[in-house]
Structure 1
Amino acid sequence: MTPEVLIGILVLVAVGIVALLVRRMESRLGSGNGTPGDLAEDRALLLRDEFDRARTEANTRDAALREEVGKSMAAATEALAASQKEHLTGLGNQLERQVRELREGNEQKLDQMRATVDEKLQGTLEKRLGEAFAQVSQRLEAVHEGLGEMKQLAEDVGDFKKVLTNVKSRGTWGEVQLRSILEEVLAPGQWEANVKPLPDSDAIVEFAIRLPGRDDQQQVWLPVDAKFPQEDYTRLQEAQDRADPEAADVAGKALGQAVVRAATDIRDKYLGPPHTTEFGILFLPTEGLYAEVLRRQEVVDQLQRLRITVAGPTTLAAILNAFRMGFHTLAIEQRSSEVWAVLGAVKTEFGKFGDVLAKLKKQLGTAQKTIDDTGVRTRAMERRLREVEEVPDDEAQRLLDLTGVEEPGEDALAEEQ
């Protein structure tokens, strides 16, 4: 029973009690014989007693009702608590089951994902490892080949070092490089190898450039000799690598002295105007050596006083190109008179050719006049022959004694035209 129903019952009971009390009071007042004051007092007492009794009964009923309501509320609360507990228990069990199912599903999916990821990682790892091993193998093979090339290069460097260590081999290497430049720039007749430039000396220079003399006299030689002071240059480089200025200065002075000695040797052995030029060329086979010599102004000044021009590979090529252009200009100047003579002969022959053309024109005019006269006579003969009766071809050939003579066909006439 709900609290609202109990409260409604209590209200109805209270209303019934009040109605009953009123009815009893009216019955007592109707049967009494007292005065109005007594009646009023009795009525008041009666009402008080009735109200007290009604209050007592109401209190009793209220207490009973409260007790019953309390019991009902307690029972309802216990029932609601039990129902909620049962509901919560079921909900907890259901939630636990769903969580367990969700956990199991997640674990299965995670296992599947882990297996898939492991499989892909394994495949990718194997592929990457295979590619990495292939690249490493290729790199190792390339390194092996590079080591072989480095070994060969080291052997070649060793051989080259042996060549440079030997003085004769160094000289041969410089001569080979100098010959290569001469062959590349100049024509074969513009230079010679192993030339004896001075008639009264047995000294032979490695190479000499043939220059034309003055007034068509005998040729003039320009001596070109190759030198390579490799020991002094090597000591200078080693001192510079060690950052040793004192050793570098000593080695630089020694290098300059070696170059000056070589220039003096060229001047004393190979220079002798008018058979040679007044200067010679000292060829240094490396650009580094050439640059080191040019850095030392005192060496350059001594070479100028000795009338020796020092040249590296690039500088020598530029000098030879200048000589080649000079050779071309000189050849053009020397052949200019021949060219004018040829042009004069051509002019004379061209005048004769004009005379021949005039004669040919005159002869062609005469032939044209003769052909015109022949045409006139032919037309006159045709007019006269129109009155003569034509005879068959066979008869005409017999009368004119033309038997066996074939007439020209259309093809022959076309060819003649």
Structure 2
Amino acid sequence: MSLLLRDELKTNRTELSESLRESRRELAEGLERMSLSLGEKLGQINDSSQKAARENREELAKSLHQFQETFTNNVRDFNELQKQKFDDMARRQDELVKATEQKLEKMRETVDEKLHKTLEERLGQSFKLVSERLEAVQKGLGEMQVLANGVGDLKNVLSNVKTRGLLGEIQLGNILEQIMSSEQYEANVITRKGASEVVEFAIKLPGRDDSGTPVYLPIDAKFPQADYLRLQNAFESGDKSMIDAETKNLVAAIKKSAKDIRDKYLDPPHTTDFGIMFLPVEGLYAEVVRQEDLLVTLQRDYKVIVTGPTTLAAMLNSLQMGFKTLAIQKRSSEVWNVLAAVKGEFAKFGDVLEKARKKLNEADRELDSLVGTRTRMMMSKLKKIEKLPAAGQNALSEGKAGDIFEDDFDETDSPNE
């Protein structure tokens, strides 16, 4: 920027010098033209004077000296006038040069000031903008570094078969945990008797009998990432032959996974006659669904149903509704059993109540009989007693009559006993 300013100032000075040089040249030319014109006029005057002198020599002889003096004075005045004019022109030229220099100096100062101010502002703005951009770039680089590290970690996870399978297993476990209760499924279950293969998850369905033994529905997560990525790369390249080849490879990998589920985990009647293959990526599931007759082939030949995260959640919700309906049915049967038991107990209660009523009637009859017999015996005893002696009255008043009655009762009861 400073080099550009120097060049511009140098150009301005050059143009100013050329302008001054041109002014001086024009002034010199004007002076030269004026001198020529003056010479021509002087020649003409001289010619006219000589002609007049020749014509009027006699007449002018007397006045020649006067004319010569007049002419000399005129020339001297003319020279003085020319000198004065030249001095005025020189003075004006000096003033013009000085004024021009002053204006140029002011212009230079103004230009320098404006350029300096503008340069400072522009440089300040530029430095500020550059600083902000550098900060943004540095921040972006930091974010890109974090993103690159995350992508690298994700790539490492997805490139490792074991961790990739673990990722699908974790996602499957999260879906089951959100929808099903812990009593409705198990993890790491051996579903085939006598086998050692462990399925990742199995849903416990009610058994066919009342023994409480569940029937397992195996669910296994599969993620053929390499085949899926190669197919995506083929789609991006647009090569039809490559797309067809990679599609066949993906279909073969899905069929192999379905065959593994069928051979390792299905064992009717201990398990259902079908299993579930869980694909943890919706794009992969959509690609499998897009293949013609692949889902039908997997269900018919391998007894495997393919699901993605969304479809598995819908299927588990349906199973959950089935579990609730089954629980209601079981509860209703329990209620009927309780009512039947209550009905039987109520019949027994009626029999017991009838027996108790009979016992009460017998006791009432016995009580009536006992009261009547005792009353008659007591009355017969009392009829024999016309008047109590004084000792008997005292005994009765002292409360000994009860003993007498008790003795009588004992005497009367002894024969019956």
Q: 1:337 to 1:123 in 2, by over 3 A?
A: farther
For residues 110-129 of structure 1, the aligned pairs below 5 Å read 110-129=107-126
Does the alignment pair 1:232 with 2:227?
A: yes
How far off is 1:310 after superposition?
A: 0.3
State the number of aligned residues: 268
The one of 137, 145, 148 aligned to 2:145? 148
Distance 1:154 1:310 in 2: 28
Structure 1: gaps spanning 5 or more residues? 1-84, 343-417
Q: 1:134 to 1:313 in 2, by over 3 A?
A: same
How far off is 1:272 after superposition?
A: 4.0
How far off is 1:131 after superposition?
A: 0.6
For residues 162-311 of structure 1, the aligned pairs below 5 Å read 162-164=159-161, 168-199=162-193, 203-213=197-207, 218=212, 219-306=214-301, 307-311=303-307
Distance 1:172 1:325 in 2: 29
How far off is 1:194 after superposition?
A: 1.7
**Contact kept in structure 1, 2:158 and 2:164, CA below 8 Å:** no
Structure 2: gaps spanning 5 or more residues? 1-81, 339-417
Equivalent residue letter for 2:258: A
Distance 1:290 1:192 in 2: 24
Equivalent residue letter for 1:191: Y
How far off is 1:340 after superposition?
A: 11
**Contact kept in structure 1, 2:191 and 2:199, CA below 8 Å:** yes
Distance 1:194 1:200 in 2: 15
TM-score where L is the length of structure 2: 0.51
How far off is 1:198 after superposition?
A: 4.4
Q: Deviations over 1:340-382 (max 9, x none)?
A: 999xxxxxxxxxxxxxxxxxxxxxxxxxxxxxxxxxxxxxxxx
Distance 1:228 1:295 in 2: 17
Larger of the two Rg values belongs to structure:
1
Equivalent residue letter for 1:134: S
Is the partner of 2:204 in helix, strand or coil?
strand
How far off is 1:117 after superposition?
A: 0.3
Is the partner of 1:297 in helix, strand or coil?
coil
Does the alignment pair 1:318 with 2:318?
A: no
TM-score where L is the length of structure 1: 0.51
Distance 1:333 1:281 in 2: 27
Equivalent residue letter for 1:125: R
How far off is 1:294 after superposition?
A: 1.2
Q: 1:112 to 1:278 in 2, by over 3 A?
A: same
Distance 2:273 2:326 in 1: 20
Distance 1:127 1:104 in 2: 33
Partner of 1:412: none
Equivalent residue letter for 2:182: P
Distance 2:199 2:155 in 1: 30
Partner of 1:47: none
Q: 1:276 to 1:154 in 2, by over 3 A?
A: closer
**Contact kept in structure 1, 2:202 and 2:216, CA below 8 Å:** yes
**Contact kept in structure 1, 2:215 and 2:270, CA below 8 Å:** yes
Q: 1:170 to 1:158 in 2, by over 3 A?
A: closer
Q: 1:95 to 1:321 in 2, by over 3 A?
A: farther
Q: 1:126 to 1:242 in 2, by over 3 A?
A: closer
Distance 2:101 2:158 in 1: 80
